[in-house]
Structure 1
Amino acid sequence: MGLGHLSYVWLALIGAMFPTLMIVLVVMMPETPRYLLSVNRRNDAIRTVAWLRGPHIDPDDECCNIESNLDQQETMAWSEFLKPSIYRPLVISLLLMVFQQFSGINAVMFYTQSIFEGAGFRNGAYAAVIVGAVQVVFTCVCAILMDKAGRKMLLILAGIGMTVSAGTFGLYYQLKTPSGNDLSGLSLSSMIVYIISFSLGWGAIPWLIMSEIFPSRARGAASGIATLVNWTCAFIVTLTFSDMMDSLTEQGTFWFFGGVCFVATLFVVIFVPETKGRTLEEIEARFGSRSPIVKSIVSERHPLQDSDVEDEETGKE
């Protein structure tokens, strides 16, 4: 069986070339300076820093900074996940991952060709190429905008766009008739707006926020848990998408995804903090002192009062 002019055997071989190249390059990659210093290999750490930073940075000074941070870090125990400064960002990160996948992105991407062919396009493969190109372009746009517009604002705007576009895609299936009233433009525009919105916000930013809201000592374990949840949800959505289309109908499935996007947007508005321009210590203090929702409301209405309360809490500690 072939796929266009390329057999599945050659398609698999070409796909295997890139992981093989990655394995070779990873073997050649040096260990991180932080790890080398943690196992008392300071000379190797200095050489690695010099290779990474170039000739304009003093590698010995940077290693001293890393060592000072290592001295301050404590060994992470699993019981620390009961602390608000860790379980609150963990819950937020896990829910962001769940919302990211149950927005339906992997189902939409994996079934793009069949979706467009079902929507009346003669060659859904071309539509799938267009969707993939749009995703690449707007993911690059997201990388430029996230440090200017802020993570939270992009997530909110992207969630609104995904909610509306998933709703209009469901509307297309609702209005489509066997006699063929031509609404193919509605399906294509809905899909493109959905992909643009996802790429601008929910594609990359949940992963970035995950790396910014955890304390350093908890980041490895917490990030691993969040990644596991993300790909488990991806597996579930991809596995059940065809059954959802049969049981909920096409329009019901996309309205379900739109509902998830709406709930995700509300969640970001209420619970997710803005991490742009915040230090790790500020973020940890935010989660450790009070509920993020209360702290967000107070800081927006009375920023000076909120700062005074933080100083009082710090003094009590």
Structure 2
Amino acid sequence: MSFNKNNPNAVGKIMGYLKQLSTDMGGSEQTRRGQGDEERLYRARGPKYARVPSRPTLSASTTCTSLATSCGSQGTLAPNYAAIPENVSTESSSEDEQDSFEKTRRHFQQLRQISLGNEFKYKMEMEIKSAKDENLRNSVPFVKQLSTDSNKVKTNYAINGDSQPYNAPTTQSLFLWTQVFAALAVSMGSMIVGFSSGYTSPAQSSMNATLIIGKEEIGWIGGIMPLAALAGGILGGPLIEGFGRKLTIIGTAIPFFLGWMLIANANGIAMVLAGRAFCGLSVGVGSLAFPVYLGETIQPEVRGSLGLLPTALGNTGILLAFFAGIKLDWRHLAFLGGALAIPFFLLMLITPETPRWYFTKNRVEDARKALQWLRGKNVNVEKEMRELTRSQAEADLVRGNQFKQLFAVKYIPAVLISLGLMFFQQLSGINAVIFYASTIFESAGSNIDPQLSSVIIGVVNFISTFIATVLIDRLGRKILLYISSVSMILTLVALGSYYYLQNVGVDVKPYGWLPLACLIIYVLGFSIGFGPIPWLMLGEILPSKIRGNAASLATGFNWTCAFIVTKTFPNIIEAIYMHGTVWLFSVICLIGLFFVIFFVPETRGKSLEEIEKKLTGGSVRIRNINGNKHMQNGC
């Protein structure tokens, strides 16, 4: 049969037409240039797939497979099936030709379906591969940027409340040492505070032998310091806001030194009282300035441990006064107190001002330098600077009288929590127990020497503070306050029961060790919780806008409570006896426990900004203002 398009036979017409089409379209330059890529794709994809040329190149010997593929899906992948032999006979009956045509058509339809399925599969594979390539292209610059940033700053671990990387150290030794130095410098002032508190006990006997003083005058020697501290606490707030934290703390060294020199050179009771008043003034200012300074300079990860250094060195000062008083008389003991003010003054000259105070004065570059000194010269402080800027922006939105702001609705929770902690700290009876320890042991009829018992309690008070330093950043503030409250409640109830049984005539001499044991546990519990934590949280929970004035208010309130407790303790004993007084303190401690459970927040590991937002609902107003601005701009 002749394969010519003019052939009247149907099959001959089709085959002749395809031959002419192959002659017209085949052999172009574009097709020949594309054959190299098709061949490479064939080798890469394997023998099963081959790209059919976008323009068919058919000849008289074209197989049915190529025919089906070129007609069904030009420019796509098609399986390479074995070629179907072509019938080349030129003479056959009409029926044979018709049967051959039907078989060819059916086979063509089958191969077309296969070709379409493979085309869809290939397109899906290429889309997936393209998406993967696109993701890779987008991710490579990001990975490269991360690598570059990590090479620049390898020690930029999360700080100020951010989640930390796994196994990342809390702080680095480089900037940890600078923070330790600042904490020790401030704590030297706290040591003088403790020395001032412990001075009267060892100096009283030698002072009585030198100066002519009465019982009432001795009471004023001990009581004038809390009164002066009350005045110092009130003055301290405006001082740390106006002159700065650092300058105010440095200034406390001068009244300390003058006060001790007046006492050491006193020729009468008036100079002694004047010297004690000067020391009390510095005690009041330092009591609020020390925790504020540490709270604004130390990172959250170590703020608990380093924030307790003032309390620890304060107890060291008390112990130093007790032991030095064994060998030194009251004059030489005063000279020792004056000598402590000198290293305190020199160390504070080296430490920087707090970055937060610089921000309140719009001294951003000074704040950056101070923060860089505290964190280390190789540490990136930009993130912390942004947080300080945001915090100050929120504080600047609040205008008006600063003392009125103390009672603003958003600040009331923080102020009341601070006042509550100070109230329960002093109303737990700790100052009454410390000041009247010898009297308590004498009235208990214990078989242990009262002076020895006082020294033992002083040592326990000293050691327990270091225990709190180790635990506070592991257990948190609230857990230690729970332990402190429960231990004081149990020991005061037991001690009150001892006094009650003694008062009703029960022989308690076989239990003469109980008062000392109860007071040791009582002081231990107080020193790990309600002793240092209210002062630590004073610098944590008060918002930056009112921190100075609120700290002044809380400190003044604390010293007022201390004065009331120490002055009224003998009168309360006369009214409700010793067991009633001790039980009264235990009831107050129980109320304090519920106060901690329901109102005191946990501040461990949180930045000051996070604490402030939690207590005041921070940045809500800023978001509302920004939203209003956007709405106005949109309109």
TM band (smaller chain) = 0.7 to 0.9
2:479 to 140, 150, 153: 153
Q: Which residue of 2 aligns with 1:210?
A: 538
Contact conserved, 1:85 with 1:284, CA < 8 A, in 2? no
Contact conserved, 1:83 with 1:288, CA < 8 A, in 2? no
* 1:101 partnered with 2:434: no
Judge which range, 6-15 or 224-233, deviates more.
6-15
The C-alpha deviation readout for 1:27-47, integer Å capped at 9, x for no partner, is 554433444455465665555
Judge which range, 249-258 or 40-49, deviates more.
40-49
* 1:13 partnered with 2:335: yes
Q: Which residue of 1 aligns with 2:71?
A: none
1:255 to 583, 587, 599: 583
Point out where structure 1 has 5 or more consecutive residues left out of the alignment: 290-310
* 1:54 partnered with 2:381: no
Rg larger in structure: 2
Task: Find the residue that maps to 2:410 and give its secondary structure.
Answer: helix
1:101, CA displacement in angstroms? 0.1
Contact conserved, 2:391 with 2:609, CA < 8 A, in 1? no
1:219 to 547, 552, 561: 547
* 1:164 partnered with 2:486: no
Point out where structure 2 has 5 or more consecutive residues left out of the alignment: 1-204, 207-324, 628-635
Judge which range, 114-123 or 219-228, deviates more.
114-123
Contact conserved, 1:34 with 1:45, CA < 8 A, in 2? yes
Paired with 1:284 and 1:214, the residues of 2 have a C-alpha distance of 7
* 1:191 partnered with 2:537: no
- The one-letter code sitting in structure 2 at the alignment partner of 1:126 is L
Contact conserved, 1:38 with 1:70, CA < 8 A, in 2? yes
Paired with 2:382 and 2:590, the residues of 1 have a C-alpha distance of 50
Paired with 2:438 and 2:399, the residues of 1 have a C-alpha distance of 46
1:234, CA displacement in angstroms? 0.8
Judge which range, 4-13 or 155-164, deviates more.
4-13
Q: Which residue of 2 aligns with 1:243?
A: 571
Higher relative contact order (CA closer than 8 Å, sequence separation 6+): 1
The C-alpha deviation readout for 1:178-212, integer Å capped at 9, x for no partner, is 97623221101110110111112111122233333
1:6, CA displacement in angstroms? 2.9
Q: Which residue of 2 aligns with 1:299?
A: none
Q: Which residue of 1 aligns with 2:457?
A: 131
Q: From the superposition, tell whether residues 97 and 173 of structure 1 become closer, same or farther in structure 2 (CA, over 3 Å).
A: same
Contact conserved, 1:33 with 1:48, CA < 8 A, in 2? yes
Q: Which residue of 1 aligns with 2:499?
A: 173
Q: From the superposition, tell whether residues 277 and 45 of structure 1 become closer, same or farther in structure 2 (CA, over 3 Å).
A: closer
- The one-letter code sitting in structure 2 at the alignment partner of 1:141 is I
Contact conserved, 2:358 with 2:367, CA < 8 A, in 1? yes
The C-alpha deviation readout for 1:204-256, integer Å capped at 9, x for no partner, is 12223333322221222212211111111111111112222222211111111
- The one-letter code sitting in structure 2 at the alignment partner of 1:260 is I
Paired with 1:202 and 1:81, the residues of 2 have a C-alpha distance of 24
Paired with 2:602 and 2:365, the residues of 1 have a C-alpha distance of 39
Q: From the superposition, tell whether residues 42 and 88 of structure 1 become closer, same or farther in structure 2 (CA, over 3 Å).
A: closer
Task: Find the residue that maps to 1:165 and give its secondary structure.
Answer: helix
* 1:118 partnered with 2:440: no
The C-alpha deviation readout for 1:62-121, integer Å capped at 9, x for no partner, is 667645544453155444334332112211211111111010011111222232233324
Contact conserved, 1:76 with 1:217, CA < 8 A, in 2? no
- The one-letter code sitting in structure 2 at the alignment partner of 1:86 is Y
Paired with 1:283 and 1:29, the residues of 2 have a C-alpha distance of 26
What is the RMSD computed on CA atoms of the aligned residues? Answer: 3.2
Q: From the superposition, tell whether residues 217 and 7 of structure 1 become closer, same or farther in structure 2 (CA, over 3 Å).
A: same
Judge which range, 222-231 or 71-80, deviates more.
71-80
Q: State the identity %.
A: 36
**Structure with greater helix percent:** 1
Judge which range, 232-241 or 114-123, deviates more.
114-123
Paired with 2:382 and 2:595, the residues of 1 have a C-alpha distance of 45
Paired with 1:61 and 1:282, the residues of 2 have a C-alpha distance of 14
Paired with 2:565 and 2:348, the residues of 1 have a C-alpha distance of 31
Contact conserved, 2:478 with 2:600, CA < 8 A, in 1? yes
Q: From the superposition, tell whether residues 88 and 70 of structure 1 become closer, same or farther in structure 2 (CA, over 3 Å).
A: closer
* 1:229 partnered with 2:557: yes
